[in-house]
Structures are given as C-alpha cells and as structure tokens.
Amino acid sequence: MCCRAVWAALLVSLIVLTFLSTLKATSIKNFLRAYYENVFDYVQATFLEALDSPPRESYARTLMAAWWLALIILTNLFTGNMKAGLTVRQPHPRIDSVAQLVRTEGLKVYVIKGPPFPLLLSVRSVYSLGRALSIFTPVK
C-alpha cells in the first residue's frame, strides 16, 4: 500500500471517529467543544500517549479501543516491513550465458585445477568462450 494512501486513510478515519464520538452533543457550542477535545484525544492516541481521562461513554470507549487496535496493527505492519526491507539483500543479477559472464565486470570466477571445463573452453573456437577462460582463476 502506498504511503500517501495510509496517511490519507488515517486522517479520514481520525475525522470520522472524532465525529462519531461527538454525535451525542446537544447544542452547537457543546458539539464544537466536544469535537475539539475528541480531536486531541485521538491525536494523543495516535502518538501512543496516555489520555488525561478515559472516555466516559461506552460507545466512545469502544471507538477509542478500535482506534488503538488499528494503530497497533499499523505500527507492527510498518515495523515488520521496515525490518524486512533492511535485512534482506537485493538479489544479484542472474548470469545465464557465457556471453553475459564475459560482459560482467568485477566478477571473479574460481575453477578447480584439473577438471576438463577449462580445457573444453580453451579448445572451443568461439571468441566469447576463449575470453571466458581468461577470467577464470585456477585454484588448487
């Protein structure tokens, strides 16, 4: 999932949860004050800080618990992806032919002395095979 999509989903869900937590307000003034307080409560929960006081109503506690659970899942998902990205090395490019082997620079190939493979390459008339023989380093 894209990073922008995750932040957008968090922002939208923060606004929706704050609105749902504030629906019980009786007047506009009470609604705005409760909305303001709930925004800060959910932002505090987003940064994993303790609230000044827990929500009084059971529906508000349920919404806050769902928000905490979603945050725990998202932080664990982010941490797991970050650890996997930092610990797994990128695979090296695959070499499928002798021509690719010859073109690859900075590659050291070791061949045990004695097997017929270097002899086979030296007898062949193909230029790339003969050049491939020159990059092999014999090992005792």
Answer yes or no: do 7 and 40 share one domain: yes
Angle between helices 28-46 and 3-22 (to 10 degrees): 140
Range of the domain at 105: 98-139
Note whether residue 12 is domain-resident: yes
- Tens of pLDDT, residues 17-41: 888 888 887 788 888 888 888 888 8
Note whether residue 77 is domain-resident: yes
Answer yes or no: do 74 and 110 share one domain: no
> What pLDDT does 34 receive?
86
Answer yes or no: do 18 and 54 share one domain: yes
> In the chain, what is the straight-line distance between the N-terminal and C-terminal CA atoms, in Å?
52
- 80 versus 119: the higher-pLDDT residue is 80
- C-alpha span between 135 and 97 (Å, rounded): 14
Instruction: Please answer whether residues 136 and 106 qualify as being in contact, where contact means their C-beta atoms are separated by less than 8 angstroms.
Output: no
14: nearest Cα among 66, 77, 78, 91:
66
- C-alpha span between 50 and 54 (Å, rounded): 9
Note whether residue 92 is domain-resident: no
Would the pLDDT of 6 be above 80? no
Supply φ then ψ for residue 33, to 5 degrees. Answer: -65, -45
Answer yes or no: do 63 and 15 share one domain: yes
Instruction: Please answer whether residues 122 and 136 qualify as being in contact, where contact means their C-beta atoms are separated by less than 8 angstroms.
Output: no
Answer yes or no: do 18 and 69 share one domain: yes
Look up residue 81 and give its two tokens. 């992806």
CATH of the domain at 28: 1.10.287
- Tens of pLDDT, residues 92-107: 778 787 677 777 777 7
Would the pLDDT of 70 be above 80? yes
Number of structural domains (the chain) is: 2
Q: Which residue in the block uniquely carries the two structure tokens 């704050």?
A: 18
